[in-house]
Structure 1
Amino acid sequence: MQSNVGLILEEKAADIGNFMVGRLLPFRHKRAVGPFVFIDHMGPACLESYKNLDVPPHPHIGLSTLTYLFEGAIFHRDSLGNAIEIKPGEVNWMTAGKGVVHSERTPEYLRQKDKFLHGLQIWIGLPKELEQSDPSFYHISKEDIPTWDEHDVSYKLIAGKLGDKTSPVPVHSPLYFLEIKTQSAQKIKIGDQLYGEVGMYVLEGSITIENNTYGTKQLLIAKEATLCEFETNGETTLYLFGGEPFEEERFMFWNFVNSDKTVLEHAKANWKEQNLEAFPKIPGDSEEYVPLPEYKFNRNN
């Protein structure tokens, strides 16, 4: 039988300033999975009392950001005036549209303490007709995320729609971001509920697909979502994500995503010139910003 695993991508290290992350998407041979265009695995990391996460104000266009933590806390501020702490199990969902600025920092009460940080940061492309929409922000509590158990398997639909379950995260295209946990070996056949393209990331433990075993730090891309089935090997946590891909190609430069390269060029100029009409300051965090990279930097590479 021919394997349904079409591509295996190894997590690669990336430096985001004073913090190293494991980058899952994009890769040269796979730019997106459905509408998902960028995924960073943060940690797990122990930050000593003198180290903190500090990502100063930086811009986005043409995408939605999804932050989901397993451990630790991040304080989010944005140019819409939102200021909120992100805790494990919650979903931070910001749609950049035509332009937004945000910062991500260790909360004040943790800055003098040893702390852990572990989670996922995800970018999801917008449909072409929404790429120039007004920015928006939603924060969803962990109690509002659909969770259920079936045959000793725990599921959590963090975003999107799957079968008769729908997450309250206000996504803009058909997609799913699903957590699956098992405490013992289980055979899971879920392809009949999936659609579009699907990727799998094993956070803990390992899985077996067609007699091949896969563990952590690998992103698996299925050839056919509807054929997705696998066995977990004991205590395992994994994530399935994907959905319907866009008809148009998405281009990426730094923190900007769009189907039109001209729009990217305008965004680059506006940020470099600190055009406050295009990219307003963040209330409470306006003293610094991340400069536009001077060198050629394309996260498609």
Structure 2
Amino acid sequence: MSNPTDNAEQWCEYEQCSGEIELLIETREKDIGNFSVRRSLPTAKRKMVGPWIFFDHMGPADFPVGEGINVRPHPHVNLATVTYLFEGEILHRDSLGSVQPIRPGDINLMVAGRGITHSERERPELTRAPRRLHGLQLWLVLPEEDEEIDPAFYHYPSSVIPALEAAGVSLRVMMGTAYGVTSPVKTYAETLYVEAYLQPGQRLALPHAEELAVYTAQGEVRAGVTEIPEHSLAVCAAGAGVILEAVTECRIGIIGGEKMSRRYVDWNFVSSRKERIEQARQDWKSGAFPKVPGDEEEFIPLPE
């Protein structure tokens, strides 16, 4: 999705914690047009967790006939987007010529590198019936030496994403290595992304990563003395060895990886260099970014 303003940070409530959890970020719903999002990263208190710099929980949004996702072409540089749906479908198009429906359980990885343009809409036949959209979109920073690589697009259907059980807990390892399995999804730095479903009373030891956080997409979990309510991001203390216990039936996302150098965020641009972001702003304003084949007429203007 495109960031609707030039400021990526969204208002949240924070709680400094002790023990296993260092910081608890409780998100607030924000309407961005015909659906709502909850943004956990970046915030004033925490910019990144490992290479993850942007974390949006989209919906759930129920669309009537004739309405739906309609995100016009917009640009990115020096990052990679990761889209994952629980329900619904999004049609991805980009300036490389990629045309790919994203369906529940798939991983859609778009590497912006030196620059890419993409749109997120729906196939016309889908808009003829009521439907629901629900999912996550995350941004990864690229290592400084990879920020200007050629743009690329990778799509991984749900069938190739490893699924397993650990202590009775259903897991999917979307990116990186955890619980003895490795995802086929391409990474550029040490990266972790795991989805877990827990029933009340079930416990799960979190995998190791230099930086680690847990997002509660549904339900509530506990880590030691800290309650992690629904729609919250709990940033784990370094080396804490966190064990979660489900308070209710829940779906969680575990994200993390290696600590990265400082990044700047402006609208849809992320870079280790402020001057690169200014160049990207001018390039979009002047029309220097490549167009999306089959979606050349519209675009999202640069926020002033």
TM-score by structure 2 length? 0.91
Q: 1:268 aligns to what SS in structure 2?
A: helix
Q: Residue 161 of structure 1: CA displacement?
A: 2.0
Q: Residue 226 of structure 1: CA displacement?
A: 4.4
User: For 2:54, which of 38, 42, 51 is the aligned residue?
Assistant: 38
Question: 1:142 & 1:89 partners in 2: Cα distance?
Answer: 5
TM-score by structure 1 length? 0.92
Equivalent residue for 2:231? 217
Q: Residue 80 of structure 1: CA displacement?
A: 0.2
- After superposition, the C-alpha distances for 1:210-265 in whole angstroms (9 at most, x for unaligned) are 2332221111111124421121124221111011011x210010000000111111
Residues 161 and 174 in structure 1, CA contact (< 8 A), matched pair in contact too: no
Equivalent residue for 2:218? 204
Q: Residue 183 of structure 1: CA displacement?
A: 2.8
- Report which stretch shifted further, 98-107 or 17-26: 17-26
Q: Residue 163 of structure 1: CA displacement?
A: 5.1
Equivalent residue for 2:95? 79
Q: Residue 20 of structure 1: CA displacement?
A: 1.8
Residues 218 and 231 in structure 2, CA contact (< 8 A), matched pair in contact too: no
Question: 1:219 & 1:12 partners in 2: Cα distance?
Answer: 12
User: For 1:149, which of 157, 162, 165 is the aligned residue?
Assistant: 165
Equivalent residue for 1:298? none
Equivalent residue for 2:249? 235
Q: 1:111 aligns to what SS in structure 2?
A: helix
Question: 1:165 & 1:41 partners in 2: Cα distance?
Answer: 26
What does 1:13-162 correspond to in 2, within 5 Å?
13-162=29-178
- CA RMSD of the aligned region, Å? 1.5
Letter in 2 for 1:71: E
Residues 186 and 234 in structure 1, CA contact (< 8 A), matched pair in contact too: no
Equivalent residue for 1:268? 281
Q: Residue 49 of structure 1: CA displacement?
A: 1.1
Q: Residue 57 of structure 1: CA displacement?
A: 0.2
Query: Judging changes above 3 Å, is the alpha-carbon distance between structure 1 residues 225 and 284 closer, same or farther for their aligned structure 2 residues?
Result: farther
Residues 81 and 282 in structure 1, CA contact (< 8 A), matched pair in contact too: yes
Equivalent residue for 1:285? 295
Question: 2:275 & 2:291 partners in 1: Cα distance?
Answer: 24
Question: 2:170 & 2:27 partners in 1: Cα distance?
Answer: 25
Residues 22 and 42 in structure 1, CA contact (< 8 A), matched pair in contact too: yes
- After superposition, the C-alpha distances for 1:104-147 in whole angstroms (9 at most, x for unaligned) are 01221111221100000000000000101100000001010011
Letter in 2 for 1:266: Q
Whether 1:194 aligns to 2:245 is no
Letter in 2 for 1:147: A
Question: 2:188 & 2:18 partners in 1: Cα distance?
Answer: 34
Residues 18 and 54 in structure 1, CA contact (< 8 A), matched pair in contact too: no
Residues 195 and 226 in structure 1, CA contact (< 8 A), matched pair in contact too: no
Question: 2:105 & 2:159 partners in 1: Cα distance?
Answer: 8
- After superposition, the C-alpha distances for 1:146-178 in whole angstroms (9 at most, x for unaligned) are 111122111110112225321111111101000
Question: 1:274 & 1:69 partners in 2: Cα distance?
Answer: 31
Question: 2:249 & 2:258 partners in 1: Cα distance?
Answer: 30
Equivalent pairs, count: 288
5+ residue gaps, structure 2, are 1-16
Query: Judging changes above 3 Å, is the alpha-carbon distance between structure 1 residues 181 and 67 closer, same or farther for their aligned structure 2 residues?
Result: same
Q: Residue 17 of structure 1: CA displacement?
A: 3.8
Letter in 2 for 1:136: A
Whether 1:181 aligns to 2:194 is no
- Report which stretch shifted further, 198-207 or 265-274: 198-207
Kindly, what percent of the aligned residue pairs are identical? 39
Q: 2:282 aligns to what SS in structure 1?
A: helix
- After superposition, the C-alpha distances for 1:36-94 in whole angstroms (9 at most, x for unaligned) are 00011000110111321110000000100000000000000000000010000000000
Letter in 1 for 2:188: H
Equivalent residue for 2:11? none
Q: 2:176 aligns to what SS in structure 1?
A: strand
Q: Residue 189 of structure 1: CA displacement?
A: 1.9
What does 1:160-171 correspond to in 2, within 5 Å?
160-162=176-178, 164-171=180-187
Letter in 2 for 1:187: R
